[in-house]
Structure 1
């Protein structure tokens, strides 16, 4: 009898959820946050507020897109923050002429954009290789670089802050095109390409098939190992891009702080955005909205004087609520 009551309660909760499924709930949550700030937060309607929130959310979105793909395969990537730190540490060393034996100049600037991203991508491939070839649990495989990656970045810089003045990197962090920050355009490109790949390409269908049932995917002849390595490589690549954006905004690179806690924000954005943490499904647009909710929630709490410690508790509660609503939505 009690079980019937539980099932009935879940059905009533599902009926009470907004139409459009989990994405409808995400849109509603974002709308409520916006409405609250419009009414209760001073100076919320201003170009400065919009600029601050957009520039702060871009890195979360870019990293969370890669995390969405990883989670869609049934995995997880804890190393994204450390890979951001590695990319952020490499770039100033390259364009300052302290690495690769190339003096400062335009060629060094170009290499400083591409080499750190490719190195982060290589480390991401290493994560995928551990998962695919050695069948190590993703949380364990990526924990290796979660710990060692930041140590690598700190060794490269001797743990020192690298302040720099480089016009190319300042443009990436502070430049605008048509009045919109360059990193926001970059975020839009990443989201658009990822959404297209998931929905319209063979790669996307294979990725979801692996997350839905890896054993069945193997029996169907899908290249499970190759797709898994590629997914983690993409996550590493996007982490590298995000690391460059962070140092460009700050005009400095600190291996101790770049990307710190980003893995939690990325996972939170994916969970809040409605992507099932068990794999087999992915919503890039949901992840974008989830990241906006995470950023706007942070801004709201800070604007109303809520301490950082309490803000972390609220963020954890939001993630818990998102995961619970996912389970309710799947329950019979």
Structure 2
């Protein structure tokens, strides 16, 4: 046996910096480039437009990050947005059951659709844990059936409405900041604190890192998985309400369409490995902003939206490649 020791490869300072703050560095570069080539990019109006357009993606992607951290995936998020968005107008317009007052209708329209989406998320978790169905297959069930459920509730028709108290979640402002942006920031802060400071957060990472070892250590893996799918459903439900409030209408055919891909893209670009074991909540938020700013930059400079889709795909490939390189070094 040789006495020689195998040298340990250490990361260069640049590799370590990019591993820890790559998403933030990319965002700073994008902002600088846009400030130079995109007219009025640094105006408050442009900032507000980009923030409001990315809010729903970030909210859904936060739930997706927690699911992916356990080694799972959730393809049903867009369909759950459609269900919540279809249910809300039916409630505050009194089409499901009599309402004692319009105020009660608005409160119930906020609460019940989000809880319904959470219940469907719990159902996803049950398929994964009790029946041991692979997450991609388990959530594919509601990816297909969920939008059908929403279309049945609305007969496939657009539901226009004008309800200012309900639309506060999308149209309201607090000290000039949109309410939906405040809600997104609070959800992001709560999720980041949960992942860093709580036992629940550590259990999520342990399950994603090595589920068998986590079970042997006494972690209730099945319960934790059901809870993260529940959280993903709740996030999707809230995002669905924001979309219909912005549009002053509910369209089960388009609400949340493609959101599962946008959320997964934000997670990947933000630095969370798609194999689980890590969760970068702030990185996910930055990843969504990066994708949004790239899309805005292309559109503002006359590049067709179809090209933005190609660039989005390229960003995902680049993010995954950087993650693989980071694990090798």
Q: TM-score, normalised by structure 1?
A: 0.94
Is 1:314 equivalent to 2:284 in the alignment? no
Moved more, 165-174 or 108-117: 165-174
Q: 1:265, 1:69 → 2: CA distance?
A: 15
CA distance in 1, matches of 2:205, 2:16: 24
Alignment check: 8 A CA contact 2:15 2:326 kept: no
Which string of whole-angstrom CA distances, capped at 9 and with x for unpartnered residues, describes residues 176-204 of structure 1? 00110000110111001000100111100
TM-score by length of 2: 0.95
CA separation in 2, counterparts of 1:23 and 1:62?
Answer: 22
Match of 1:271 among 252, 268, 273: 268
- Range that drifts further, 60-69 or 22-31: 22-31
Distance 1:247 1:172 in 2: 10
Q: Where does residue 137 of structure 1 map in the other structure?
A: 134
Alignment partner of 1:296 is 2:293: yes
The DSSP-based 3-state class of the residue aligned with 2:162 is coil
Q: CA deviation at 1:100?
A: 2.7
> Within 2, Cα distance between the matches of 1:281 and 1:67?
12
Q: Specify every segment of 5 or more residues in structure 1 that has no aligned partner in the other structure, as ranges.
A: 1-10
The structure 2 residue matched to 1:82, chosen from 79, 84, 88, is: 79
Deviation digits for residues 45-64 of structure 1 (CA, Å, limit 9, x no counterpart): 21211110010111111100
How far apart in 2 are the matches of 1:156 and 1:17? 54
Within the candidate set 261, 284, 287, 2:284 is matched to 287
Following TM superposition, by how much is the alpha carbon of 1:306 offset from its aligned partner in structure 2, in angstroms? 1.6
- Which residue in 2 is equivalent to 1:203? 200
CA shift for structure 1 position 323:
0.3
In structure 1, C-alpha distance between the alignment counterparts of 2:47 and 2:133, rounded to whole Å: 42
Is contact 1:71–1:278 with CA below 8 Å preserved after alignment?
Answer: yes
Counterpart selection for 1:101 from 69, 81, 98: 98
Distance 2:118 2:205 in 1: 21
1:57 alignment partner, SS class: helix
**1:1-332 pair list within 5 angstroms:** 15=12, 17=14, 19-102=16-99, 105-332=102-329
Distance 1:296 1:117 in 2: 29
Mapped contact 1:96–1:104 kept (Cα < 8 A): no
Paired with 1:233 and 1:306, the residues of 2 have a C-alpha distance of 39
Instruction: Please say if residues 18 and 24 of structure 1, whose CA atoms lie closer than 8 Å, have aligned partners that are also in contact.
Output: no
- Per the TM alignment, residue 31 of structure 1 is displaced from its structure 2 partner at its CA by 1.2
List, as ranges, runs of 4+ consecutive aligned residues in structure 1 with deviation greater than 4 Å: 16-19
1:23 Cα deviation (Å)? 3.8
Contact conserved, 1:97 with 1:103, CA < 8 A, in 2? no
Contact 1:96–1:103, Cα closer than 8 Å, also in 2: no
Matches of 1:40 and 1:137, distance apart in 2: 46
Give the length in aligned residue pairs.
Answer: 322
SS in 1 for 2:276: coil
Q: What value does the CA root-mean-square deviation take over the aligned residues?
A: 1.7
What is the Cα deviation at residue 18 of structure 1? 5.3
Contact 1:23 1:273 (C-alpha < 8 Å) held by counterparts:
no
